[in-house]
Structure 1
Amino acid sequence: MQKFSAPIQLTKDITLGDEHLVLLAGPCAIEGLDICLKIANSVKEMTSKLGISYVFKASFDKANRTSSSSFRSIGFEEAMRILEEVKKQVGVPLITDVHESHQVDAVAEVVDVLQIPAFLCRQTDLLVAAGKSGKGVNIKRGQFMAPEDMQYAVAKIRNTDNENVCLTERGVSFGYHNLVVDMRSLPVMRQFSPVIFDVTHSVQQPGGAGGTSGGQREFAPYLARAAAAAGVDGFFIETHPDPANALSDGPNMIPLNELAEFLKMIGEIWQLGNAYS
Protein backbone atom coordinates (compact mmCIF):
# COMPACT_ATOMS: atom_id res chain seq x y z
CA MET A 1 0.00 0.00 0.00
CA GLN A 2 1.44 3.36 -1.06
CA LYS A 3 2.65 5.78 1.64
CA PHE A 4 2.14 9.55 1.87
CA SER A 5 3.99 11.51 -0.80
CA ALA A 6 6.45 13.40 1.40
CA PRO A 7 7.54 13.88 5.04
CA ILE A 8 6.23 16.90 6.92
CA GLN A 9 7.96 19.53 9.02
CA LEU A 10 6.33 18.78 12.38
CA THR A 11 8.34 21.50 14.13
CA LYS A 12 11.08 23.85 13.02
CA ASP A 13 13.73 21.21 13.67
CA ILE A 14 11.82 17.90 13.52
CA THR A 15 10.76 16.14 10.34
CA LEU A 16 8.10 13.45 10.60
CA GLY A 17 7.91 10.69 8.03
CA ASP A 18 11.57 10.21 7.15
CA GLU A 19 13.97 7.62 8.51
CA HIS A 20 13.91 9.08 12.01
CA LEU A 21 11.61 8.11 14.88
CA VAL A 22 9.63 10.86 16.63
CA LEU A 23 8.14 10.71 20.14
CA LEU A 24 5.35 12.87 21.57
CA ALA A 25 5.37 12.28 25.32
CA GLY A 26 4.57 13.81 28.67
CA PRO A 27 1.89 13.82 31.35
CA CYS A 28 -1.77 13.70 30.39
CA ALA A 29 -2.51 17.05 32.03
CA ILE A 30 -0.41 19.97 33.19
CA GLU A 31 -0.36 19.47 36.96
CA GLY A 32 2.39 21.94 37.85
CA LEU A 33 5.79 23.21 36.76
CA ASP A 34 7.98 20.88 38.81
CA ILE A 35 6.44 17.67 37.53
CA CYS A 36 6.44 18.89 33.92
CA LEU A 37 10.13 19.80 34.19
CA LYS A 38 10.95 16.44 35.76
CA ILE A 39 9.20 14.53 32.97
CA ALA A 40 10.52 16.70 30.15
CA ASN A 41 14.12 16.52 31.37
CA SER A 42 13.93 12.76 31.93
CA VAL A 43 12.41 11.99 28.54
CA LYS A 44 14.80 14.35 26.74
CA GLU A 45 17.73 12.47 28.28
CA MET A 46 16.26 9.10 27.25
CA THR A 47 15.48 10.12 23.69
CA SER A 48 18.87 11.80 23.21
CA LYS A 49 20.59 8.52 24.06
CA LEU A 50 18.30 6.55 21.73
CA GLY A 51 18.44 8.97 18.80
CA ILE A 52 14.72 9.76 18.94
CA SER A 53 13.33 13.24 18.20
CA TYR A 54 11.25 14.45 21.14
CA VAL A 55 8.26 16.78 21.50
CA PHE A 56 6.93 17.42 25.03
CA LYS A 57 3.18 16.87 25.36
CA ALA A 58 0.81 18.04 28.08
CA SER A 59 -2.82 19.17 27.96
CA PHE A 60 -3.79 22.57 29.38
CA ASP A 61 -7.44 21.54 29.69
CA LYS A 62 -9.09 18.12 29.85
CA ALA A 63 -12.37 19.25 28.35
CA ASN A 64 -13.79 15.77 27.79
CA ARG A 65 -13.53 14.21 31.25
CA THR A 66 -16.15 11.57 32.04
CA SER A 67 -17.43 13.40 35.12
CA SER A 68 -17.66 17.13 35.78
CA SER A 69 -16.11 16.48 39.21
CA SER A 70 -12.84 15.26 37.64
CA PHE A 71 -9.77 17.50 37.38
CA ARG A 72 -9.75 19.62 34.23
CA SER A 73 -7.14 22.34 34.37
CA ILE A 74 -4.95 24.52 36.54
CA GLY A 75 -6.12 27.45 34.40
CA PHE A 76 -5.24 28.61 30.90
CA GLU A 77 -2.77 31.38 31.74
CA GLU A 78 -0.88 29.31 34.32
CA ALA A 79 -0.76 26.32 31.97
CA MET A 80 0.66 28.45 29.15
CA ARG A 81 3.24 29.90 31.53
CA ILE A 82 4.34 26.40 32.51
CA LEU A 83 4.62 25.27 28.89
CA GLU A 84 6.72 28.32 28.08
CA GLU A 85 8.97 27.58 31.05
CA VAL A 86 9.41 23.94 30.01
CA LYS A 87 10.44 25.06 26.54
CA LYS A 88 12.84 27.64 27.95
CA GLN A 89 14.47 25.45 30.61
CA VAL A 90 14.53 22.07 28.83
CA GLY A 91 14.85 23.23 25.23
CA VAL A 92 12.21 20.95 23.74
CA PRO A 93 9.37 21.74 21.31
CA LEU A 94 5.81 21.52 22.60
CA ILE A 95 2.47 20.02 21.59
CA THR A 96 -0.90 20.52 23.27
CA ASP A 97 -4.59 20.06 22.44
CA VAL A 98 -6.92 22.80 21.32
CA HIS A 99 -10.66 22.31 21.77
CA GLU A 100 -12.18 25.47 20.33
CA SER A 101 -11.18 27.63 17.39
CA HIS A 102 -10.89 30.77 19.53
CA GLN A 103 -8.07 29.12 21.52
CA VAL A 104 -5.83 28.53 18.52
CA ASP A 105 -4.07 31.89 18.17
CA ALA A 106 -3.13 32.18 21.84
CA VAL A 107 -1.95 28.57 22.08
CA ALA A 108 0.00 28.80 18.81
CA GLU A 109 2.05 31.63 20.28
CA VAL A 110 3.44 29.17 22.84
CA VAL A 111 3.54 25.68 21.30
CA ASP A 112 5.07 24.22 18.16
CA VAL A 113 2.37 21.68 17.26
CA LEU A 114 -1.39 21.89 17.70
CA GLN A 115 -3.26 18.68 18.46
CA ILE A 116 -6.88 18.07 17.53
CA PRO A 117 -8.57 15.70 20.03
CA ALA A 118 -10.18 12.58 18.60
CA PHE A 119 -13.73 13.64 19.45
CA LEU A 120 -13.19 16.89 17.50
CA CYS A 121 -11.56 15.57 14.34
CA ARG A 122 -14.59 16.47 12.20
CA GLN A 123 -14.93 20.05 13.52
CA THR A 124 -14.23 22.09 10.41
CA ASP A 125 -13.84 25.49 12.08
CA LEU A 126 -11.33 24.09 14.56
CA LEU A 127 -9.33 22.32 11.85
CA VAL A 128 -9.26 25.37 9.61
CA ALA A 129 -8.16 27.63 12.46
CA ALA A 130 -5.39 25.19 13.37
CA GLY A 131 -4.26 25.00 9.76
CA LYS A 132 -4.18 28.77 9.39
CA SER A 133 -1.88 29.05 12.42
CA GLY A 134 0.95 27.75 10.28
CA LYS A 135 1.94 25.30 13.00
CA GLY A 136 2.24 21.56 12.58
CA VAL A 137 -1.14 19.91 13.22
CA ASN A 138 -1.67 16.44 14.67
CA ILE A 139 -5.22 15.11 14.20
CA LYS A 140 -6.25 12.17 16.34
CA ARG A 141 -8.57 9.75 14.57
CA GLY A 142 -12.01 9.82 16.11
CA GLN A 143 -13.08 6.63 17.87
CA PHE A 144 -16.06 6.65 15.51
CA MET A 145 -14.20 7.33 12.24
CA ALA A 146 -13.26 4.91 9.47
CA PRO A 147 -9.52 5.28 8.80
CA GLU A 148 -10.06 6.10 5.12
CA ASP A 149 -12.31 9.02 6.08
CA MET A 150 -9.45 10.77 7.85
CA GLN A 151 -8.22 11.92 4.44
CA TYR A 152 -10.93 14.59 4.59
CA ALA A 153 -9.66 15.93 7.90
CA VAL A 154 -6.17 16.11 6.40
CA ALA A 155 -7.57 17.96 3.39
CA LYS A 156 -9.16 20.60 5.64
CA ILE A 157 -5.70 21.46 6.96
CA ARG A 158 -4.04 21.38 3.54
CA ASN A 159 -6.73 23.62 2.10
CA THR A 160 -5.34 26.37 4.36
CA ASP A 161 -1.97 26.02 2.55
CA ASN A 162 -0.51 24.16 5.50
CA GLU A 163 1.09 20.86 4.47
CA ASN A 164 2.39 20.01 7.94
CA VAL A 165 -0.37 17.69 9.12
CA CYS A 166 -0.23 14.17 10.53
CA LEU A 167 -2.69 11.63 11.91
CA THR A 168 -2.71 9.67 15.16
CA GLU A 169 -4.29 6.26 15.72
CA ARG A 170 -5.77 5.71 19.18
CA GLY A 171 -8.27 2.88 18.78
CA VAL A 172 -11.96 2.68 18.00
CA SER A 173 -14.82 2.44 20.47
CA PHE A 174 -17.60 -0.10 20.57
CA GLY A 175 -18.88 1.17 23.89
CA TYR A 176 -18.71 -0.97 27.01
CA HIS A 177 -15.63 0.93 28.26
CA ASN A 178 -13.24 -0.51 25.72
CA LEU A 179 -11.15 0.48 22.71
CA VAL A 180 -9.90 -1.78 19.93
CA VAL A 181 -6.94 -1.08 17.63
CA ASP A 182 -7.21 -2.36 14.08
CA MET A 183 -3.65 -2.36 12.74
CA ARG A 184 -5.00 -2.13 9.19
CA SER A 185 -5.82 1.50 9.97
CA LEU A 186 -2.10 2.38 10.08
CA PRO A 187 -1.26 1.70 6.40
CA VAL A 188 -4.66 3.04 5.35
CA MET A 189 -4.12 6.41 7.04
CA ARG A 190 -0.45 6.44 6.07
CA GLN A 191 -1.58 6.93 2.49
CA PHE A 192 -2.68 10.46 3.42
CA SER A 193 -0.01 11.67 5.87
CA PRO A 194 2.59 10.45 8.35
CA VAL A 195 1.00 8.47 11.18
CA ILE A 196 1.67 8.40 14.92
CA PHE A 197 0.54 5.56 17.15
CA ASP A 198 -0.93 6.57 20.51
CA VAL A 199 0.22 3.79 22.80
CA THR A 200 -1.41 4.83 26.05
CA HIS A 201 -4.83 6.03 24.91
CA SER A 202 -5.20 2.80 22.95
CA VAL A 203 -5.28 0.90 26.26
CA GLN A 204 -7.59 3.39 27.94
CA GLN A 205 -11.02 2.24 29.16
CA PRO A 206 -13.19 5.35 28.73
CA GLY A 207 -15.46 5.79 31.72
CA GLY A 208 -14.48 2.32 32.87
CA ALA A 209 -13.65 3.16 36.47
CA GLY A 210 -16.98 4.40 37.73
CA GLY A 211 -17.09 8.02 36.54
CA THR A 212 -13.45 8.15 35.50
CA SER A 213 -11.49 6.36 32.79
CA GLY A 214 -9.63 3.17 33.56
CA GLY A 215 -6.85 1.57 31.60
CA GLN A 216 -4.93 -1.63 30.92
CA ARG A 217 -1.32 -0.50 30.69
CA GLU A 218 -0.18 -4.13 30.79
CA PHE A 219 -1.23 -4.37 27.13
CA ALA A 220 0.69 -1.27 26.04
CA PRO A 221 3.89 -3.17 25.08
CA TYR A 222 1.97 -5.55 22.84
CA LEU A 223 0.17 -2.83 20.92
CA ALA A 224 3.31 -0.71 20.67
CA ARG A 225 5.31 -3.61 19.25
CA ALA A 226 2.56 -4.40 16.76
CA ALA A 227 2.38 -0.79 15.57
CA ALA A 228 6.18 -0.57 15.32
CA ALA A 229 6.24 -3.69 13.17
CA ALA A 230 3.30 -2.56 11.03
CA GLY A 231 5.02 0.74 10.25
CA VAL A 232 4.39 4.15 11.78
CA ASP A 233 6.34 7.41 11.87
CA GLY A 234 6.17 8.17 15.55
CA PHE A 235 4.69 7.29 18.92
CA PHE A 236 2.54 9.18 21.41
CA ILE A 237 3.04 8.04 25.01
CA GLU A 238 1.75 9.57 28.22
CA THR A 239 4.04 9.08 31.18
CA HIS A 240 4.18 10.08 34.83
CA PRO A 241 6.52 9.39 37.77
CA ASP A 242 3.55 8.28 39.89
CA PRO A 243 0.64 7.20 37.65
CA ALA A 244 -1.47 6.07 40.61
CA ASN A 245 -1.65 9.67 41.79
CA ALA A 246 -1.79 11.41 38.41
CA LEU A 247 -4.68 13.83 38.02
CA SER A 248 -5.77 12.34 34.69
CA ASP A 249 -5.41 8.99 32.86
CA GLY A 250 -3.14 7.37 35.43
CA PRO A 251 -4.26 3.77 34.74
CA ASN A 252 -3.03 3.81 31.15
CA MET A 253 0.18 5.87 31.52
CA ILE A 254 3.66 4.33 31.39
CA PRO A 255 5.60 4.90 34.65
CA LEU A 256 8.46 7.30 33.97
CA ASN A 257 11.04 4.91 35.42
CA GLU A 258 9.99 2.23 32.90
CA LEU A 259 9.90 4.45 29.84
CA ALA A 260 13.55 4.17 28.75
CA GLU A 261 13.36 0.39 28.38
CA PHE A 262 9.97 0.72 26.73
CA LEU A 263 11.38 3.12 24.12
CA LYS A 264 14.42 0.95 23.50
CA MET A 265 12.17 -2.05 22.87
CA ILE A 266 9.84 -0.37 20.39
CA GLY A 267 12.71 1.46 18.72
CA GLU A 268 14.42 -1.79 17.82
CA ILE A 269 11.22 -3.20 16.31
CA TRP A 270 10.47 0.10 14.57
CA GLN A 271 13.79 -0.03 12.73
CA LEU A 272 12.79 -3.37 11.24
CA GLY A 273 9.18 -2.40 10.55
CA ASN A 274 10.20 0.88 8.94
CA ALA A 275 12.46 -0.96 6.50
CA TYR A 276 9.48 -2.88 5.12
CA SER A 277 6.72 -0.24 5.31
Structure 2
Amino acid sequence: MDLYQKLKTTPAFFLIAGPCVVENDTVMHKVAETLVQLQEETGIIVVFKASYKKANRSSVDSYMGPGEEEGLRSLEHIKSEFHLPVLTDVHERIEVEAAAQICDILQIPAFLCRQTELIQATAATGKIINIKKGQFMAPEDMQQTALKAGNNQQILLTERGTCFGYHNLVVDFRSFSIMHSLGYPVVYDVTHSLQLPSAGKVSGGNPEFAPMMAKAAIATGKVQGLFIETHPEPEQALSDAASMLRLNMLAPLIKECLKIAHLKDNE
Protein backbone atom coordinates (compact mmCIF):
# COMPACT_ATOMS: atom_id res chain seq x y z
CA MET A 1 0.00 0.00 0.00
CA ASP A 2 1.43 3.39 -0.96
CA LEU A 3 1.79 6.28 1.48
CA TYR A 4 -1.34 8.13 0.37
CA GLN A 5 -3.55 5.10 0.84
CA LYS A 6 -2.03 4.54 4.28
CA LEU A 7 -2.81 8.13 5.23
CA LYS A 8 -6.30 7.92 3.80
CA THR A 9 -7.20 4.67 5.56
CA THR A 10 -5.42 5.14 8.88
CA PRO A 11 -7.62 3.74 11.69
CA ALA A 12 -6.91 6.66 14.05
CA PHE A 13 -5.02 9.63 12.59
CA PHE A 14 -1.60 10.43 11.17
CA LEU A 15 0.84 13.09 12.33
CA ILE A 16 2.79 15.68 10.34
CA ALA A 17 5.35 17.26 12.67
CA GLY A 18 8.68 19.01 12.78
CA PRO A 19 10.29 22.43 13.13
CA CYS A 20 8.98 25.37 11.13
CA VAL A 21 12.16 25.69 9.09
CA VAL A 22 15.16 23.45 8.54
CA GLU A 23 17.59 24.14 11.38
CA ASN A 24 20.94 22.70 12.46
CA ASP A 25 21.55 18.95 12.61
CA THR A 26 21.16 18.84 16.40
CA VAL A 27 17.61 20.19 16.26
CA MET A 28 16.63 18.18 13.20
CA HIS A 29 17.95 14.90 14.67
CA LYS A 30 16.39 15.47 18.07
CA VAL A 31 12.98 16.03 16.52
CA ALA A 32 13.34 13.07 14.14
CA GLU A 33 14.43 10.75 16.97
CA THR A 34 11.40 11.78 19.01
CA LEU A 35 9.05 11.23 16.08
CA VAL A 36 10.46 7.77 15.39
CA GLN A 37 10.03 6.83 19.05
CA LEU A 38 6.47 8.17 19.03
CA GLN A 39 5.68 6.19 15.90
CA GLU A 40 7.03 3.00 17.47
CA GLU A 41 5.10 3.55 20.71
CA THR A 42 1.75 4.40 19.14
CA GLY A 43 1.74 2.79 15.69
CA ILE A 44 0.57 5.98 14.00
CA ILE A 45 2.05 7.15 10.69
CA VAL A 46 4.43 10.07 11.19
CA VAL A 47 5.64 12.49 8.51
CA PHE A 48 8.59 14.78 9.20
CA LYS A 49 8.04 18.39 8.08
CA ALA A 50 10.34 21.37 7.75
CA SER A 51 10.56 24.21 5.25
CA TYR A 52 13.79 24.98 3.43
CA LYS A 53 12.36 28.43 2.69
CA LYS A 54 9.57 30.51 4.22
CA ALA A 55 8.51 33.03 1.61
CA ASN A 56 5.70 34.56 3.67
CA ARG A 57 7.32 36.46 6.53
CA SER A 58 5.99 39.16 8.85
CA SER A 59 9.10 41.31 8.44
CA VAL A 60 11.97 41.70 6.00
CA ASP A 61 14.22 40.84 8.96
CA SER A 62 12.53 37.48 9.63
CA TYR A 63 14.56 34.33 8.98
CA MET A 64 13.53 32.67 5.71
CA GLY A 65 15.37 29.36 6.03
CA PRO A 66 18.65 27.91 4.73
CA GLY A 67 17.54 27.84 1.09
CA GLU A 68 16.77 25.10 -1.41
CA GLU A 69 20.10 23.30 -1.73
CA GLU A 70 21.04 23.10 1.94
CA GLY A 71 17.48 22.60 3.12
CA LEU A 72 16.66 19.75 0.77
CA ARG A 73 19.97 18.08 1.59
CA SER A 74 19.01 18.15 5.27
CA LEU A 75 15.56 16.69 4.55
CA GLU A 76 17.11 13.97 2.42
CA HIS A 77 19.36 13.06 5.34
CA ILE A 78 16.39 12.84 7.71
CA LYS A 79 14.52 10.64 5.25
CA SER A 80 17.40 8.21 4.73
CA GLU A 81 18.67 8.03 8.32
CA PHE A 82 15.36 7.92 10.18
CA HIS A 83 13.19 6.29 7.49
CA LEU A 84 10.47 8.91 7.81
CA PRO A 85 8.54 10.36 4.87
CA VAL A 86 9.20 14.09 4.56
CA LEU A 87 7.14 17.15 3.66
CA THR A 88 8.13 20.66 2.64
CA ASP A 89 6.53 23.77 1.13
CA VAL A 90 6.90 24.92 -2.45
CA HIS A 91 6.26 28.53 -3.38
CA GLU A 92 7.05 28.80 -7.08
CA ARG A 93 6.95 26.42 -10.03
CA ILE A 94 10.72 26.60 -10.40
CA GLU A 95 11.15 24.94 -6.98
CA VAL A 96 8.86 21.99 -7.54
CA GLU A 97 11.08 19.58 -9.46
CA ALA A 98 13.97 19.71 -6.98
CA ALA A 99 11.68 19.33 -3.97
CA ALA A 100 9.87 16.39 -5.58
CA GLN A 101 13.12 14.48 -6.03
CA ILE A 102 13.42 14.19 -2.25
CA CYS A 103 10.10 14.87 -0.56
CA ASP A 104 7.12 12.51 -0.31
CA ILE A 105 4.59 15.30 0.22
CA LEU A 106 4.69 18.76 -1.33
CA GLN A 107 2.77 21.46 0.47
CA ILE A 108 0.95 24.42 -1.03
CA PRO A 109 1.03 27.25 1.55
CA ALA A 110 -2.26 28.83 2.58
CA PHE A 111 -1.64 32.16 0.88
CA LEU A 112 -0.87 30.33 -2.39
CA CYS A 113 -3.76 27.88 -2.41
CA ARG A 114 -5.42 29.57 -5.40
CA GLN A 115 -2.27 29.61 -7.55
CA THR A 116 -3.44 27.37 -10.39
CA GLU A 117 -0.10 26.89 -12.15
CA LEU A 118 1.71 26.10 -8.90
CA ILE A 119 -0.85 23.42 -8.04
CA GLN A 120 -0.68 21.99 -11.56
CA ALA A 121 3.12 21.85 -11.52
CA THR A 122 3.08 20.16 -8.11
CA ALA A 123 0.47 17.64 -9.25
CA ALA A 124 2.54 16.79 -12.32
CA THR A 125 5.28 15.34 -10.08
CA GLY A 126 2.95 12.54 -8.98
CA LYS A 127 3.67 13.34 -5.34
CA ILE A 128 1.09 13.72 -2.57
CA ILE A 129 -0.07 17.34 -2.30
CA ASN A 130 -1.03 18.97 0.98
CA ILE A 131 -3.07 22.08 0.20
CA LYS A 132 -3.57 24.44 3.10
CA LYS A 133 -6.88 26.29 3.08
CA GLY A 134 -6.24 30.01 2.84
CA GLN A 135 -7.35 32.16 5.72
CA PHE A 136 -9.64 33.86 3.20
CA MET A 137 -11.21 30.66 1.79
CA ALA A 138 -14.53 29.00 2.59
CA PRO A 139 -14.07 25.25 3.17
CA GLU A 140 -16.40 24.27 0.31
CA ASP A 141 -14.27 26.30 -2.11
CA MET A 142 -11.42 23.84 -1.60
CA GLN A 143 -13.23 21.50 -4.00
CA GLN A 144 -12.28 23.68 -6.97
CA THR A 145 -8.76 24.09 -5.62
CA ALA A 146 -8.31 20.32 -5.41
CA LEU A 147 -9.64 19.81 -8.93
CA LYS A 148 -6.80 21.97 -10.26
CA ALA A 149 -4.53 18.99 -9.57
CA GLY A 150 -6.16 17.09 -12.44
CA ASN A 151 -5.45 13.39 -12.53
CA ASN A 152 -3.26 13.47 -9.44
CA GLN A 153 -5.87 13.39 -6.72
CA GLN A 154 -3.46 12.36 -3.96
CA ILE A 155 -4.56 15.38 -1.99
CA LEU A 156 -4.71 16.35 1.66
CA LEU A 157 -6.73 19.40 2.70
CA THR A 158 -5.48 21.31 5.72
CA GLU A 159 -7.42 23.70 7.95
CA ARG A 160 -5.28 26.40 9.59
CA GLY A 161 -7.84 28.92 10.72
CA THR A 162 -9.64 31.90 9.26
CA CYS A 163 -8.75 35.58 9.69
CA PHE A 164 -10.82 37.12 12.46
CA GLY A 165 -10.26 40.74 13.27
CA TYR A 166 -6.70 41.81 13.96
CA HIS A 167 -3.89 39.53 15.23
CA ASN A 168 -6.09 36.50 15.63
CA LEU A 169 -7.35 33.41 13.83
CA VAL A 170 -10.44 31.34 14.49
CA VAL A 171 -11.05 27.69 13.56
CA ASP A 172 -14.57 26.99 12.32
CA PHE A 173 -14.99 23.32 13.22
CA ARG A 174 -17.70 22.98 10.61
CA SER A 175 -14.95 23.17 7.99
CA PHE A 176 -13.67 19.74 9.07
CA SER A 177 -16.98 18.16 8.13
CA ILE A 178 -17.36 20.19 4.93
CA MET A 179 -13.89 19.37 3.61
CA HIS A 180 -14.23 15.74 4.69
CA SER A 181 -17.35 15.52 2.53
CA LEU A 182 -15.24 16.44 -0.51
CA GLY A 183 -13.57 13.04 -0.30
CA TYR A 184 -10.04 14.01 0.74
CA PRO A 185 -8.27 13.38 4.06
CA VAL A 186 -8.58 16.44 6.29
CA VAL A 187 -5.64 17.69 8.35
CA TYR A 188 -5.83 20.14 11.23
CA ASP A 189 -2.84 22.48 11.48
CA VAL A 190 -2.88 22.88 15.24
CA THR A 191 0.01 25.26 15.84
CA HIS A 192 -0.49 27.63 12.90
CA SER A 193 -4.14 28.04 13.86
CA LEU A 194 -2.91 29.33 17.22
CA GLN A 195 -0.71 32.03 15.71
CA LEU A 196 -1.32 35.72 16.30
CA PRO A 197 -0.41 36.99 12.81
CA SER A 198 1.44 40.26 12.32
CA ALA A 199 1.69 41.02 16.02
CA GLY A 200 4.63 43.34 15.43
CA LYS A 201 7.71 42.23 13.47
CA VAL A 202 7.06 38.55 14.20
CA SER A 203 3.92 36.48 14.66
CA GLY A 204 2.82 35.70 18.17
CA GLY A 205 1.02 32.58 19.32
CA ASN A 206 -0.90 30.68 21.98
CA PRO A 207 0.60 27.16 21.95
CA GLU A 208 -0.83 26.50 25.43
CA PHE A 209 -4.16 25.86 23.71
CA ALA A 210 -2.71 23.18 21.38
CA PRO A 211 -3.79 20.14 23.48
CA MET A 212 -7.37 21.39 23.83
CA MET A 213 -7.74 22.25 20.14
CA ALA A 214 -6.14 19.04 18.89
CA LYS A 215 -8.33 16.84 21.08
CA ALA A 216 -11.46 18.74 20.10
CA ALA A 217 -10.62 18.35 16.41
CA ILE A 218 -10.07 14.60 16.71
CA ALA A 219 -13.38 14.31 18.59
CA THR A 220 -15.25 15.53 15.50
CA GLY A 221 -14.42 12.26 13.74
CA LYS A 222 -13.69 14.23 10.55
CA VAL A 223 -9.96 14.84 10.97
CA GLN A 224 -7.51 12.22 9.72
CA GLY A 225 -4.29 14.09 10.35
CA LEU A 226 -2.73 16.51 12.82
CA PHE A 227 -0.10 19.03 11.74
CA ILE A 228 2.03 20.26 14.63
CA GLU A 229 5.18 22.33 14.46
CA THR A 230 7.47 21.36 17.31
CA HIS A 231 10.93 22.24 18.59
CA PRO A 232 13.12 21.15 21.54
CA GLU A 233 13.41 24.79 22.65
CA PRO A 234 10.75 26.90 20.92
CA GLU A 235 12.10 30.12 22.40
CA GLN A 236 15.35 29.48 20.47
CA ALA A 237 13.64 28.56 17.20
CA LEU A 238 14.57 30.49 14.08
CA SER A 239 10.96 30.82 12.90
CA ASP A 240 7.51 30.72 14.52
CA ALA A 241 9.06 30.56 17.97
CA ALA A 242 5.90 31.84 19.65
CA SER A 243 3.54 29.17 18.33
CA MET A 244 5.53 25.92 18.17
CA LEU A 245 4.83 23.16 20.68
CA ARG A 246 7.69 22.18 22.96
CA LEU A 247 8.96 18.79 21.78
CA ASN A 248 8.57 17.04 25.14
CA MET A 249 4.86 17.92 25.09
CA LEU A 250 4.20 16.21 21.75
CA ALA A 251 3.96 12.56 22.86
CA PRO A 252 1.52 13.24 25.75
CA LEU A 253 -0.70 15.27 23.42
CA ILE A 254 -0.75 12.58 20.73
CA LYS A 255 -1.50 9.83 23.25
CA GLU A 256 -4.44 11.83 24.62
CA CYS A 257 -5.73 12.32 21.08
CA LEU A 258 -5.42 8.59 20.43
CA LYS A 259 -7.63 7.85 23.44
CA ILE A 260 -10.31 10.06 21.91
CA ALA A 261 -9.88 8.51 18.47
CA HIS A 262 -10.29 5.00 19.89
CA LEU A 263 -13.41 6.08 21.75
CA LYS A 264 -14.86 7.30 18.45
CA ASP A 265 -14.00 3.96 16.82
CA ASN A 266 -15.90 2.08 19.56
CA GLU A 267 -19.11 4.09 19.27
| TM-score normalized with structure 2 length | 0.95
Tell me, what secondary structure is at the counterpart of 1:252? Answer: coil
Once the two structures are TM-superposed, the CA of residue 74 in structure 1 deviates from its matched residue by 1.2
Q: Which moved more, 1:215-224 or 1:135-144?
A: 215-224
Q: Which amino acid aligns with 2:211?
A: P
User: Would the alpha carbon gap of residues 203 and 275 (structure 1) be closer, same or farther in structure 2, given more than 3 Å must change?
Assistant: farther
Contact kept in structure 2, 1:16 and 1:234, CA below 8 Å? no
1:230 partner letter: T
| Alignment partner of 2:156 out of 157, 161, 166 | 166
Whether 2:234 is the aligned partner of 1:226: answer no
Q: How does 1:46-125 map to 2 (within 5 A)?
A: 46-125=38-117
Shift, 1:229, TM fit: 0.4
Does structure 1 residue 137 correspond to structure 2 residue 154?
A: no
DSSP 3-state at the match of 1:111: coil
Note the 1:1-277 alignment, pairs <5 A. Answer: 10-11=3-4, 14-157=6-149, 159=150, 161-192=151-182, 193-208=184-199, 210-231=200-221, 232-273=223-264
Instruction: Please state how far the C-alpha of 1:221 moved relative to its aligned partner.
Output: 1.4
| Structure 1 contact 47–54 (Cα < 8 Å) conserved | yes
SS in structure 2 of the partner of residue 67 of structure 1: coil
SS in 2 for 1:264: helix
Report which stretch shifted further, 20-29 or 179-188: 20-29
Query: CA–CA distance in 1 between the matches of 2:22 and 2:67?
Result: 9
Contact 2:12 2:258 in 1 (8 A): no
Q: Report the CA distance shift for 1:163/1:228 in structure 2 as closer, same or farther (over 3 A).
A: same
- 8 Å CA contact 2:12–2:261 kept in 1: the answer is no
| Cα distance, 1:14 vs structure 2 | 3.5
Kept after mapping to 2: 8 A contact 1:137/1:166? yes
Matched residue SS, 2:148: helix
Structure 1's 275 and 212: CA in aligned 2 closer, same or farther, altered over 3 A? farther
The offset of 1:275, in angstroms, is 5.8
**What is the Cα deviation at residue 10 of structure 1?**
4.2
Contact between 1:113 and 1:135, CA under 8 Å: does it hold in 2?
yes
- Structure 1 residue 219 displacement after superposition: 1.2
Aligned residues: 265
Partner AA of 1:207 in structure 2: S
Alignment partners' CA distance in 1, 2:264 and 2:90: 32
> Against the structure 1 CA distance between its residues 132 and 275, is the aligned structure 2 distance closer, same or farther, given a 3 Å change threshold?
farther
Q: Do the aligned residues in 1 keep the contact of 2:167 with 2:198 (CA within 8 Å)?
A: yes
Q: Hey, what's the Cα distance between the residues in 1 that align with 2:56 and 2:92?
A: 12
Q: Partner amino acid for 2:220?
A: A
Give structure 1 regions of 4+ aligned residues with deviation exceeding 4 angstroms: 8-11
Q: C-alpha distance in 1, partners of 2:34/2:2?
A: 25
Secondary structure of the 1:15 match is helix
Query: Which residue identity does 1:201 align to in structure 2?
Result: H
Q: Residues 62 and 257 (structure 1 numbering): CA distance in 2 closer, same or farther, change over 3 Å?
A: same
> What is the CA deviation profile of residues 61-112 of structure 1, one whole-angstrom value per residue up to 9, with x for unaligned ones?
0110100101001121111110111111111110000001111111000100
**107-116 vs 245-254, which moves further:** 245-254
TM-aligned CA deviation for residue 220 of structure 1: 1.1
**1:96–1:113: 8 Å Cα contact kept in structure 2?**
yes
Distance apart, 1:28 and its partner CA: 0.5
Q: Distance in 2 between matches of 1:9 and 1:97?
A: 21
**Per the alignment, in what secondary structure is the counterpart of residue 14 of structure 1?**
helix
Task: Give distance in 2, aligned partners of 1:139 and 1:63.
Answer: 16
Alignment CA distance shift 1:18-1:53 (3 Å): closer
State the identity as a percent: 49
Distance 1:273 1:243 in 2: 32
- Contact 2:12/2:262 (<8 A) preserved: no
Give 1:149 deviation, angstroms.
0.3
